Structure 1
Amino acid sequence: MPNIRVLRDNAVRKGVKAHEIVRRAYLYVARNQTLPSPLRYQAMLQLNNFGRYSRPTVVKSRCTVSGRGRGIINEFGLCRYQFRLKALKGELPGVSKASW
């Protein structure tokens, strides 16, 4: 059963992906000094009307199993503890226990 944090993180990622192109266009217009100021002002207002889950800074790396937000190994999407458990069970492809 997924954690509520994982579900929220997935919703945030979908929202950011859905609004990314339009946000970038408005940011370009708002920051372009050569354009007239009323047009730039309208672009700023449109940026302010976007929802909470449209900003890419809201996205946080979280473990897909436990929902933990610290110690994430991004290649696998797991926190270090869950990574260790799955590696010891042999559930991760390309990862094996070291033999010294």
Structure 2
Amino acid sequence: MSQFRAKKLDLGCFINIRVIRDHTKRKVFAEHEPERQALRYIIRNTTLPQRTRAQAQLQLSQMHCYTRGTQIKNRCIMGGKGRGVFRDFRLARFQFRMNALAGNLPGVKKASW
């Protein structure tokens, strides 16, 4: 347990297990994405032999689930919420409002007409 505390996560936000898991998923996805793209290219290339394409399909299906882009969920970087998150800012609605009113988001201001 002390080993985990010594390791500093540079997430810059409220940390709970979901945020840590999301951070891990993003890191693993970034590491393995070129390999997944290469395997997908081999699978879709009809000029290659069927055996090679089948082996590539098997390798792709045996990769860890965190290497898939669909596993990544947009979470608020301030509070860790998984719903109502603005994709451009990676903030939940309430955190976005508080930061915008405080002037912490450049180029964002309260609308008035």
Q: State the TM-score, normalized to the length of structure 1.
A: 0.88
Matched, 1:40 2:40: no
Match of residue 79 from structure 1: 92
Match of residue 10 from structure 2: none
Match of residue 69 from structure 1: 82
Q: Distance in 1 between matches of 2:45 and 2:110?
A: 53
Match of residue 19 from structure 2: 6
The alpha-carbon deviation at position 65 of structure 1 amounts to 1.3
Identity of aligned residues (%): 51
Q: Distance in 1 between matches of 2:16 and 2:78?
A: 8
Matched, 1:22 2:35: yes
Q: Distance in 1 between matches of 2:111 and 2:69?
A: 37
SS of the aligned residue for 1:82 comes to: helix
Q: 2:106 aligns with which of 83, 90, 93?
A: 93
Q: 4+ runs of 1 displaced by more than 4 Å?
A: none
The alpha-carbon deviation at position 71 of structure 1 amounts to 1.6
Alignment gaps of 5+ in structure 1: none
The alpha-carbon deviation at position 94 of structure 1 amounts to 2.3
The alpha-carbon deviation at position 41 of structure 1 amounts to 0.9
Q: Is the 8 A contact 1:3 1:66 kept in 2?
A: no
Q: Is the 8 A contact 1:3 1:65 kept in 2?
A: no
Q: Give the counterpart letter for 1:41 in structure 2.
A: A
| Alignment size in residue pairs | 100
The alpha-carbon deviation at position 99 of structure 1 amounts to 4.7
Q: Give the counterpart letter for 1:26 in structure 2.
A: L
Coordinate RMSD, CA, aligned: 1.5
